[in-house]
Amino acid sequence: MAEPAVIARSPITPAEPPSVVDGWEVSGRRSGAGLTLVDCMPLAKILVRAAPDGAVGRWLGTPFGRAGTNPDGVLVTGSGPDEWTLFGPHGSGRALVGAVEDLSGERELVSALDVTHGRTLMRLTGAAARPLLSKLCAVDLGNAVSPNSAVFRSSVAKVITDVVRDDRSGVPSYLVHCERSYGSYLFGALLDAGAEFGIEVDGYTSTEMRGV
């Protein structure tokens, strides 16, 4: 049987052993560590700009600074005052852009852009995720200011980064995404900062982001 063809790569070099999931070259490593970092580059990422009180804004339903999962399993994050970033399963980008455009009609000024290949997305999960991120980011990550589903954009390791707190089964977890060109650096910076907490790279699977 022929090996699956690689049609896309992340800017982050996959940890050994390499694997192919949905056409993406990813790491096939499976880690049982308490603190893990996963390159989630294959997930669809859609940038939406629209008026918060318009049809698209109401449909998205998530205010600036918060995240929520819609009935289709898409994570909708309010990343700016009139800006949202949608995270969907691999390959759902075109359908998501179409859904937003259909809803906007002709009267509302809306932009929906598939930035799946243009931005790097990684997931940091573990009890020590918060102290790790605190080493690189000045924003208060405590529950009072940044509870589960909080979204903010700030400087992480001096890179402009969007951070989404998206806990997994009660375990603190953060989605971290930035411009593609900074992805490899930021991934390395998180690994460096997490060395004292025993961080390990985990591989990506197509079910990595269950419920997203």
Partner 1 sequence: MILIPCPHCGERNVSEFQYVGEALTRPNPDGVDPEQWRSYLYLRSNPAGPTVESWFHRAGCRRYLKVERDTVTNEVTSVTLPGRGGPQP
- 98's enclosing H/E stretch is helix 93-104
Contact 56, 29 (CB under 8 A): no
Nearer to partner 1, 84 or 204 (CB): 84
Site for partner 1 contains 152 (CB under 8 A):
yes
Contact 9, 179 (CB under 8 A): no
The stretch near partner 1 (CB under 8 A) out of 10-18, 117-125, 152-160, 192-200 is 152-160
Contact 69, 210 (CB under 8 A): no
Site for partner 1 contains 204 (CB under 8 A):
no
Identify residue 142 by its one-letter amino acid code.
G
Site for partner 1 contains 64 (CB under 8 A):
yes
Neighbours of 74 (CB within 10 A): 20
CA max distance for the chain? 54
Identify residue 169 by its one-letter amino acid code.
S
Question: SS3 for 145?
Answer: coil
Site for partner 1 contains 154 (CB under 8 A):
yes
Identify residue 83 by its one-letter amino acid code.
E
CB of residue 64 vs partner 1: minimum separation in angstroms?
A: 7
* x/- track of binding to partner 1 for residues 126-145 (CB under 8 A): ------------xx------
CB of residue 160 vs partner 1: minimum separation in angstroms?
A: 5
Nearer to partner 1, 130 or 153 (CB): 153
State which of residues 66, 117, 135, 153 lies at the interface with partner 1 (CB under 8 A). 153
Detail the DSSP E strand segments found in 22-127.
24-27, 35-39, 44-49, 67-69, 75-80, 83-88, 111-114, 119-126
Site for partner 1 contains 81 (CB under 8 A):
yes
State which of residues 9, 101, 105, 155 lies at the interface with partner 1 (CB under 8 A). 155
CB of residue 45 vs partner 1: minimum separation in angstroms?
A: 17
Q: Which residues of the chain form contacts with partner 1 (CB under 8 A)?
A: 64, 80-81, 83, 138-139, 152-155, 160
